[in-house]
Amino acid sequence: MKIRPLLLVCLPALMWAQGRGGPQNREADVNPVSFDRILNANKEPQNWLSYSGGTMSDRYSELKQITPENAKDLTLKWVFQARTLDKEEVTPLVVDGVMYTVQSPNDVVALDAATGKQIWIYQHTPAKGTTNPCCGNLTRGVAILGDKIFLATLDAQVIAINARTGKEVWKTQAGDYTQQYSMTHAPLVVKDKVIAGVAGGEHGIRGYICAFDANTGKEVWRFDTVPGPGEPGNETWLGPDGKPNDSWMHGGAPVWVTGSYDPDTNLTYWGTGNAGPDWDGDARLGDNLYSSSVVALEVDTGKLKWYYQFSPHNEFDWDATQVPVLADINFKGNPRKVMLWANRNGMFYVLDRTTGQFLLGKPFTKVNWATGFDERGRPMLDPKVKPTKEGTLVYPGNQGGTNWYNPSFSPSTGLFYIPTWENSSSVYVKGDAPPEFHAGQSFSGPFPRNQKTDDDLFSSVIAVDPNTGERKWTHRLSAPNTEAGILTTASNVLFSGGRDGAFYALDARTGDLLWDTNLGPSVSAGPMTYEVSGKQYVSIQCGSGLYTFALR
């Protein structure tokens, strides 16, 4: 891939905006955002009203100004430079010409979406003693409803902020940060509720998902992703002797990527993370529900409607915290309401989102841990592929065939797009004894190691047919790994990025490169698009900068 230098291409049009220390707060001119607007986000594609663009989470925009023919004319319009060295993985919102983004770890910033100029900033410093939650001091985004912006923080608080002024409206403590509970994802707004889950799976937490009243901050319901005694699923947490034990108390199953909502079923869907400890399950025998699963919850009550476990008794750290993508498609000749899922374990899945029925499962990258699926959709594990004292080579590797970065589904092409790690592997090693839980310490087991193989290790964007799981095309990236999400548009343009700083546009029908530039640091977020005064923009977070492009 030819990478054009950013500054030489874009400097004439460049406008810089800055973070902390910018202009004094002023009011943002936005209309209240009703839930009906969020449900019908596709009818106002000039805005980006939720983390994944809409509650179905397909990361697809109806905007068409940028096309395969003119994408080569994209140029940089402005950059917002955050005043922080922390990692940034944010997807912003745009409402009526105002952009809402996060300056890591927990500052919310309102910007003029056409120029990048700061309107207001809300600053939140996590409480002293808040632990780095595994993978960076960051928050991936915010939510909006009415006149409020909602933030979930590293010290496990949910905060409502006035969208016009940046002033705090209410604050609720959702977890005990001194026990390693944290929040790192954008909340999901459904009806009059703000839904969010807790991270901290590497520290022995017991995961849960909460709903809060959007007006008051009061907790409405809570669903434990690790069931306790007497709850269905607790029998899947067993000791080394095969009898029930207390492993559920620190069972993990965290939530650190935003879920989805289907108004037809009134269900909200959330992916859960690894069981604890990550890489040694000898003290937690059984399937370990509901870790490495998707759970479908009734929005009004939080009750479990159905679940599907992608990786039972997982010892490979394969969180199922990918984005649940909801779509209405013709599946094998019949209309079907489905959930499309590219899992960290290297498998692509199609589930019926109404019932949870398994419809299709197929590897999308190199896999050796399972030989297939039984008639119920349970993976058939290869008994030889598990952690051992000598070490076992497992495909995909610890980072997975993909990870948290968002895929996209395009109704225009009918294809599902996955940011993929190709031929990755890790060697999993088991210690002499299972790790013991100690408050405040890591609870994981021996870290997997790399082993040189003859595999061609690279990253790619792939297009998959949901009816068959077959690849339609592969676009190989320059970097050997990736952390960037994917955006598709009605004009058949696909945007994504790479760990080498590349940001590019592809033809969503063929995978052909249309345009590219280089932003320097790793691109570790999902692109989004919006329109102001008749001009379409595309924004992407890279390093500590938020870069926004449009046609010349």
Written as one letter, the residue type at 209 is I
Looking from the CA of 97 toward its CB, the CA atoms found within 13 Å total: 14
Task: Yes or no: say if 463 and 415 are a contact pair by the CB < 8 Å rule.
Answer: yes
497, 527 contact by CB (below 8 A): yes
How far is the C-alpha of 498 from the C-alpha of 486, rounded, in Å?
11
Residue 447 carries which DSSP code? P
Element (H, E) at 7: helix 6-10
Structure tokens at 132: 């780095």
Helix/strand/coil for 127:
coil
Look up tokens 């992916």; give the residue.
Answer: 271
In whole angstroms, give the CA distance from residue 545 to residue 537: 16
CA–CA gap between residue 332 and residue 424 (Å, rounded): 31
Sign of torsion over alpha carbons 71, 75, 78, 80:
positive
Query: 424 phi and psi, to 5 degrees?
Result: -80, 150
Structure tokens at 494: 């696909």
If DSSP codes are grouped into helix, strand and coil, which group holds residue 156?
coil
Cross-strand pairs, 361: 349
- 112 close to 80: Cβ distance less than 8 angstroms: no
Residues 36 and 58: their CA atoms lie apart, in Å, by 18
CA terminus-to-terminus distance, the chain:
23
Which residues carry out catalysis?
Answer: 317
> What residue type is assigned to position 126 of the chain?
P
Residues 196/214, Cβ–Cβ less than 8 Å: no
Q: Which helix (H) or strand (E) covers residue 461, if one does?
A: strand 458-464
| 544 Cα distance to chain centroid | 19
* Spatial distance between the Cα atoms of 525 and 496, rounded to a whole number of angstroms: 9
> Within 13 Å, how many C-alpha atoms sit on residue 245's CB side?
15
| Strand, coil or helix: 266 | coil
Of 322, 309, 334, nearest to 255 (Cα)? Answer: 322
Taking the mean position of all CA atoms in its chain, how far away is CA 252? Answer: 18
Three-state SS letters, 74-87? EEEEEEEECCCCCC
Sign of CA dihedral 167, 171, 174, 175: positive
